[in-house]
Chain A
Amino acid sequence: DTAVSQTPKYLVTQMGNDKSIKCEQNLGHDTMYWYKQDSKKFLKIMFSYNNKELIINETVPNRFSPKSPDKAHLNLHINSLELGDSAVYFCASSQDLDGADTQYFGPGTRLTVL
């Protein structure tokens, strides 16, 4: 009964491939996010969706395409993977868009591009 789950936990792939990371939350939240934790350990927002509508797109290359089939799911598809895409990707959710709303994070997906 994990609140925010991500699959896969680890992903190793070659440059140029296309891959997807899935995220699901069972908290009944309206808002979901994708964050990237780079080699310098900063957690940076990539996207946020509220009720399946894109709210934040933080100047992420258009090789990254989020898809929200419903409020409980926010998947991340990455085309033409590059070495610099290697990072840990975290999905999160919150009740709504209020800054005081606690964000609940998934366990992360460690992506390694060779």
Chain B
Amino acid sequence: DQQVKQNSPSLSVQEGRISILNCDYTNSMFDYFLWYKKYPAEGPTFLISISSIKDKNEDGRFTVFLNKSAKHLSLHIVPSQPGDSAVYFCAASGFFQGAQKLVFGQGTRLTINP
């Protein structure tokens, strides 16, 4: 009963093009959504987030889109750079059983080809 899913385990994109990573969730009680980036042998690092009351948040080359009716969010990276090659985790935050919890997807490995 995984509540946050990233259905693409990997994605390969040419340098300079747009990378689009997708994430679906099932629980409408989530009120905040985040993307984390992870390099090998390191912990995840925060990238960008969006509140459930918004449908778009932009930070430089990174934009997150939220479609609440479809329970879907996506991360756009443009233009993609070789340093963007990493595993990207989608996460959703909500208040469940008396505590705020962060639920992660299983990650998408993004490879940017020169």
Contacts and interface: CB of A to CB of B under 8 A. Distances in A.
Give chain B's interface residue range (CB within 8 Å of chain A): 20 to 34
Interface string A47-58: 010000001101
B14 interface: no
B6 to A, nearest CB: 10
Contacts of A45: 101-103
Nearest to B97: A56
Contacts, number: 57
B102 to A, nearest CB: 6
B interface: dominant SS: strand
Q: Give the one of A43, A56, A98, A99 with max B CB within 10 A.
A: A99
B93 A56 contact: no
Nearest to B41: A107
A98 B46 CA distance: 15
A43 B104 CA distance: 6
A97 B100 contact: yes
A106 interface: yes
Nearest to B105: A42
Contacts of B2: 42
A107 to B, nearest CB: 5
Interface of B: 2, 31-32, 34, 36, 41-46, 49, 51, 89, 91, 93-95, 99-107
Given A41-B107, A99-B95, A108-B42, 9 more contacts: A4-B43, A41-B106, A45-B103, A97-B100, A99-B32, A100-B93, A103-B46, A106-B43, A107-B43
8 contacts: A41-B107, A44-B104, A55-B99, A100-B93, A102-B49, A104-B45, A105-B43, A105-B45
